[in-house]
Amino acid sequence: EPEVTQTPSHQVTQMGQEVILRCVPISNHLYFYWYRQILGQKVEFLVSFYNNEISEKSEIFDDQFSVERPDGSNFTLKIRSTKLEDSAMYFCASSDGRNTEAFFGQGTRLTVV
């Protein structure tokens, strides 16, 4: 069964450093997302990406965040200067259309120290 894969599974970084989280969505999917989940809390929408551009972003997704689809398979989330409060599980997701199942990756646990 096809699945969304994310790397790394765990990233520890120092405050102020840049991190790049990587995702490989399911190959025929057209819509890509990043969500985050702070430990013990709900899953929060960060950004959606369609047709090679951001289609929507949340208030969390400020100027420190960016997304890119550098080639036909990868989808990345960059945090330019990490803060302690960026520590969370980051999930990538993809879907093949509107109002269809969003498949989640296994997540990257980001710890900012």
Of 38, 23, 11, 10, residue with least CA distance to 103: 23
Biggest CA–CA distance in the chain, Å, is 38
- Report in angstroms how near the CB of residue 22 gets to another protein at its nearest: 16
Q: Of residues 87, 105, 108, 110, which one binds another protein by CB under 8 A?
A: 105
Per-residue binding string, another protein, 38-57, x by CB under 8 A, is ---xxxxx--x-x----xx-
- Report in angstroms how near the CB of residue 98 gets to another protein at its nearest: 5
Residues 6+ apart with CB under 8 A from 81: 16, 17, 18, 64
Positive or negative, the Cα torsion across 79, 81, 85, 89? positive
| Site for another protein, residues 56 to 95, rule: CB under 8 A | 56, 58, 91, 95
Q: Of residues 25, 31, 36, 82, which one binds another protein by CB under 8 A?
A: 31
